Amino acid sequence: MNYPINDIRKDFPILERKVHNKDLVYLDNAATTQKPRQVIEAITKFYEEYNSNIHRGVHFLSQIATNAYEESRDYIKNFIGAAHREEVIFTRGTTEAINLLAHSFGKAFIKEGDEVLISEMEHHSNIVPWQMLCEDRKAILRVIPMNDKGEIIMEEYEKLLSSKTKILAITHISNALGTINPIKKIIEKAHEYDVVVMIDGAQAIAHEKVNVSELDCDFYCFSAHKVYGPMGIGVLYGKKELLGKMPPYQGGGEMIANVSFEKTTYNELPFKFEAGTPNVEGAIAFKTALEYIEAIGLDSIKEHEHGLLSYATAEMQKLDDVVIYGKAKNKAALISFLLKDIHPFDAGTMIDQLGIALRTGHHCAQPIMDKFQIQGTIRASFAMYNTMEEVDVLMNALKKVQAIFS
């Protein structure tokens, strides 16, 4: 069966618009993906037909909204292969999920002298919360180095593991380099030392089949907006046993069982970690987004994106004075690069005038840029709706930029 690229593109209204009088070529998918019409309609339907706060409400609209919200939790539980529905905690996104974990797990399990392990390729959201935890608990942050291709140096990783290591927090796919880390091997090695493992799956969830039970990760975090869903909603998956031992992250609303001025008791999982009015429409539309990609098939999407990556890499290598950063053997559909002697911001501004949306800068991964001794890169990141023709448009744009600056 041929990949239904034309049908897919018709589902994304924004792809029909013009930018600077040019057809939009959207290649900033690692920052956020566009939304299919089905997701947009799910949000509209919620507000038009059954907008209501959830749980505890006995009226008709509240019951419908509550059921739809909890159905989304069940769907996500099955989508990621979790064992229990209460292991799916709704958050505002990957960043809040990591902060929740750093605060709550840290409070329960991290003490002075313990070690927290991250890698050199992490997004700031998977660096700063752990730095804050280590400062608060007088713990030590250790960093796994990577090689010049942008791959974890496994021998160095294994040397860093010890009885002092309490948690490893590592990305599944690098947002700045596209590296797909050997997560299962990394988890297995950590568990030999009884180290708890959290995976930042923000970049992986739209490109890889993720089964948390098969991976045996202890925590996995991801966001809806990276997988064709709405902004402001994400998930912290955690093993039930660990979540049960962790204190709440925030107080108020749904996370309570009983409140008095003398003592408050906390709700059961997953509600213990879901304080306040949740993003109901976001959770409902998240399910719609996942249904959409499952209907196409993640294997088909991955094959299509890999074709785009291979073609774009080959075409870019034909150009003079282009340096690609991130040459891991196992890569997602993302290319970080620089045009020699042209500042990435200047190049990105000119490319934008040609109707192409790219990302320029350090991509919230400054340590990576420091390693390569550069200020930042230009990043083209592909999704299921991108085409080979759009790759050609990008290559022509890069040639124009080079010609102007020369």
- Among 159, 167, 237, smallest CA distance to 196 is for 167
- Among 334, 81, 302, 94, smallest CA distance to 210 is for 81
Left if phi > 0, otherwise alpha if psi is -120 to 50, otherwise beta: which for 138? left
Cα(206)–Cα(198) distance, integer angstroms: 18
DSSP 226: G
SS3 38: helix
On the 0-12 / 13-18 / 19+ scale of CB atoms within 10 A, 197 is buried
- Cα dihedral across residues 242, 246, 249, 254: positive or negative: positive
Interhelix angle 344-353/388-405, rounded to 10 degrees, is 120
Given a contact cutoff of 8 angstroms between Cβ atoms, the answer to whether 244 and 218 are in contact is no
Tokens of 66: 């509550």
Cα(131)–Cα(337) distance, integer angstroms: 29
Given a contact cutoff of 8 angstroms between Cβ atoms, the answer to whether 166 and 140 are in contact is no
Cα angle value 200/189/102 (rounded, 5°): 35
Q: Which residues are catalytic?
A: 364
Tokens of 36: 């299919």
Cα(8)–Cα(391) distance, integer angstroms: 17
β-strand partners of 18: 23
